[in-house]
């Protein structure tokens, strides 16, 4: 199955994608990880992407699609893969469909994680992150054993700039303007399923499994 996960930042897509990686053995493809990997390997697409990133410009869709084309030809993607964080716009979704159709494939299912903005602001603004190992905590729902210290490595926890309320509102605004229309694009093809992402991770996981049937 080729699966696309859609939803605003903080809706739990990444958490659920990691569970699917374990349960279904489908690789989770993040465009950010692919960009960093291509740059570190010095591939042609990686160097092209770096030229835009060094100028502070967005990497063009055709470069990102090229990276996805390369990545999805690897052996671990032959039984399916999960796209997390892509496509972000309707033109990207159309480019993805074109690329897949050239290989006789298609997006099989798209799952939209639905949650109110107010809940997301509460979730994200309360996050605290370990700058050393990447572990995440929350001031209300997942407090560390020692205030301000990571349970796993003891490193100080930080409040990332993009987890501050004013930044979160901007991120949500961009999402609603650019990415929400992607859900309508997939809805028109009959491939979209929506799940309630405001419940517990376990309940969201069950809803996601149902959506994949």
User: 3-class DSSP state for residue 110?
Assistant: strand
List of the chain residues with pLDDT < 70: none
Is the alpha carbon torsion for 197, 22, 18, 33 positive or negative? negative
Give me 35's structure tokens: 């960009």
Residue-wise DSSP of 111-142: EEEE--HHHHHHHHHTEEEETTT--EEETTTB
**What pLDDT, on a 0 to 100 scale, did the predictor assign at position 204?**
96
**What pLDDT, on a 0 to 100 scale, did the predictor assign at position 208?**
96
Evaluate if pTM is beyond 0.85.
Answer: no
Give the bridge partners for 88, in sequence order. none
* In the block, residue with structure tokens 């949500």: 172
**What pLDDT, on a 0 to 100 scale, did the predictor assign at position 21?**
93
For 96-129, the pLDDT digits (tens) are 999 999 999 999 999 999 999 999 998 889 989 9
**What pLDDT, on a 0 to 100 scale, did the predictor assign at position 35?**
85
Q: Distance between CA atoms of 135 and 125, rounded to whole angstroms?
A: 16
**What pLDDT, on a 0 to 100 scale, did the predictor assign at position 188?**
95
Active site residues: 13, 88, 127, 160, 171
Contacts with 129 (C-beta within 8 Å, 6 or more apart), sequence order: 135, 136, 137, 157, 158, 159, 160, 163
Q: Which domains does the chain have, with CATH numbers?
A: 2-26+79-211 (3.40.50.300)
| 8 and 121 Cβ atoms separated by less than 8 Å | no
């Amino acid at each position: 199955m080729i699966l696309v996960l859609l939803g605003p930042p903080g809706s739990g897509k990444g958490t659920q994608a990691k569970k699917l990686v374990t349960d279904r053995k489908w690789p989770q493809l993040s465009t950010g990880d692919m960009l960093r990997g291509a740059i570190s390997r010095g591939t042609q697409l990686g160097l092209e992407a770096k030229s835009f990133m060094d100028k502070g410009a967005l990497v063009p869709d055709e470069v990102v699609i090229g990276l996805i084309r390369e990545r999805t030809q690897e052996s671990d993607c032959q039984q399916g893969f999960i796209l997390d964080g892509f496509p972000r716009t309707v033109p990207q979704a159309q480019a993805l469909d074109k690329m897949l159709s050239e290989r006789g494939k298609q997006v099989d299912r798209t799952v939209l994680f639905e949650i109110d903005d107010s809940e997301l602001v509460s979730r994200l603004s309360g996050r605290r992150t370990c700058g050393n190992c990447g572990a995440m905590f929350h001031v209300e729902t997942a407090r560390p054993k020692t205030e301000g210290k990571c349970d796993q490595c003891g490193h100080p926890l930080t409040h990332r700039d993009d987890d501050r309320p004013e930044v979160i509102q901007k991120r949500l605004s961009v999402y609603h303007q650019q990415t929400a229309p992607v859900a309508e694009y997939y809805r028109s093809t009959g491939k979209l399923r929506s799940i309630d992402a405001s419940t517990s991770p376990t309940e969201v996981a069950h809803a996601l499994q149902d959506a994949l049937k």
